[in-house]
Structure 1
């Protein structure tokens, strides 16, 4: 306007801004997430609105789009005016007040997540939205994060969030996404993962559960008994006796337990734990 050319958008690397531009990947996301006419969808990281537009056109009942970078307000305000089912919100997804802002909570979340907030953001979504009806997440994450989130029992990349996802439903990797699918291109591969939630919707918000997992995985080179004993000042012999009752080897490490073993251990061990400070 006014005879001046608009300046090209400068991506903020501190925010992990790598905008998805590959049409085939965008189409894959739409087909995999399959927005329904009765569903409310939450999109995190709307960017310049490329996927936002397609989600609004999908026929979903309501679309919330959350973006942190106010420089994108012009692009998203135009879309918000064009689609009656779209409402744009501004803020940090890790600290956002989902309960107050979403009286009609989403059933599905679609997000392109910067690596440095992957774990805290997923915990936040599970804790705040799973008890209110969230049942499905389709997330673009770095490949290393995808490997960790979907690692089964007995693998070295197993960690607390992956255990929790297994017990709340499932997490699986759908496809690799190369750097060329983004602008600017990241230096690592990404992957799309699908998370389904169909049970234990309150587990992520259980403080005792979170304390137990944090202690258990605290020092990976140590056995589970050693980690729990050191974290909670528990005597070794009673712990080993408990492990024996549960059919677990005293030298087992946290990453070796499957979901059912974690549930049995938590049920027996939680009453022993000292009050949280």
Structure 2
């Protein structure tokens, strides 16, 4: 950590001085443990000189860790109460932190952070899944981002890495795994947050893989949306309204009496290719 960052007061003092009680409406839970934040910042690999895009920095705990690892950070914060604290952090960061005041769902991330940026965020609970799906379903592949290191409720994290046949396996797992590699990098106890959420959390790390030939993202989206939209029904029922899906099932030799949760990611890719 640079001398100017090291001279900053403890994060707990910053929160108290600026009156930054976590907002339930914004899905905020602040993480204050510096060692834990440093561990999260190490998950993407060496960040010295690397570009990082952060969503929902709040008072800047994870931001400090990213800057301390040498990253150049673009952070998007919707809560205007946090902007003065982030401005102090920016002033100490020697030009390596740029804060955007706004809604992350409306930001052109690729334009702001640049191609090859790592996305690292303790995502607000209320927009985390929507942002992840957006990052996973970009039309161009490899994507503009180099890796995703994201904090979720543990239940959501388990859905991202789930395997066929498990109760957590569903559309999110297929979207995450058909052209990416996803793993749970670490679990985080609820007591690490202020205020403590009701559930445990986990950090997921996702890196792009090669996209299967002959498959378009909109086909995978439509297929998984239909299949898991009625996950308890047989495929012949859940897919009957999706043009070409039942013909594709027959073409690749998948029994239409099966349910979506029994299909592997590769089988979904086969169906999408046949469609």
* TM bracket (short chain): 0.7 to 0.9
Given the alignment of the two structures, is residue 265 of structure 1 paired with residue 266 of structure 2, yes or no?
no
- Number of matched residues? 258
Match of 1:78 in 2: 88
- What secondary structure is seen at the aligned counterpart in 2 of 1:79? helix
Given the alignment of the two structures, is residue 52 of structure 1 paired with residue 63 of structure 2, yes or no?
yes
Contact 2:223–2:242 (8 Å) recurs in 1: no
Report the Cα distance in structure 2 between the residues aligned to 1:90 and 1:204, rounded to whole angstroms. 37
Report the Cα distance in structure 2 between the residues aligned to 1:7 and 1:67, rounded to whole angstroms. 15
Contact 2:122–2:152 (8 Å) recurs in 1: yes
Tell me the CA shift for residue 111 of structure 1: 0.9
Root mean square deviation, CA, Å: 2.6
Return closer, same or farther for 1:191/1:205 CA change in 2, 3 Å cut-off: farther
Deviates more, 1:71-80 or 1:91-100: 91-100
The 5 A counterparts of 1:115-264 are: 115-127=125-137, 131-200=142-211, 206-229=217-240, 231-232=241-242, 239=246, 242-264=248-270
Contact 1:40–1:108 (8 Å) recurs in 2: yes
Contact 1:136–1:196 (8 Å) recurs in 2: yes
- What secondary structure is seen at the aligned counterpart in 2 of 1:13? coil
Report the Cα distance in structure 1 between the residues aligned to 2:215 and 2:189, rounded to whole angstroms. 31
Corresponding residue to 1:24 among 16, 20, 35? 35
Tell me the CA shift for residue 48 of structure 1: 0.6
- What secondary structure is seen at the aligned counterpart in 2 of 1:54? helix
Return closer, same or farther for 1:267/1:127 CA change in 2, 3 Å cut-off: closer
Tell me the CA shift for residue 258 of structure 1: 1.2
Unaligned runs of 5+ in 2: 1-15
TM-score, structure 1 normalization? 0.84
Match of 1:273 in 2: none
Tell me the CA shift for residue 148 of structure 1: 0.9
Deviates more, 1:118-127 or 1:14-23: 118-127
Contact 2:76–2:104 (8 Å) recurs in 1: yes
- What secondary structure is seen at the aligned counterpart in 2 of 1:15? coil
TM-score, structure 2 normalization? 0.84
- What secondary structure is seen at the aligned counterpart in 1 of 2:106? coil
1:108-143 CA-to-partner distances (Å, cap 9, x unmatched) read 111112333222110122345964431211111101
Contact 1:224–1:254 (8 Å) recurs in 2: yes
Tell me the CA shift for residue 224 of structure 1: 1.6
Report the Cα distance in structure 2 between the residues aligned to 1:205 and 1:82, rounded to whole angstroms. 45
Match of 1:110 in 2: 120
Match of 1:13 in 2: 24
Contact 2:179–2:210 (8 Å) recurs in 1: yes
Return closer, same or farther for 1:56/1:205 CA change in 2, 3 Å cut-off: farther
- What secondary structure is seen at the aligned counterpart in 2 of 1:41? strand
- What secondary structure is seen at the aligned counterpart in 1 of 2:202? strand
Unaligned runs of 5+ in 1: 270-277
Report the Cα distance in structure 1 between the residues aligned to 2:159 and 2:23, rounded to whole angstroms. 26
Report the Cα distance in structure 2 between the residues aligned to 1:179 and 1:194, rounded to whole angstroms. 19
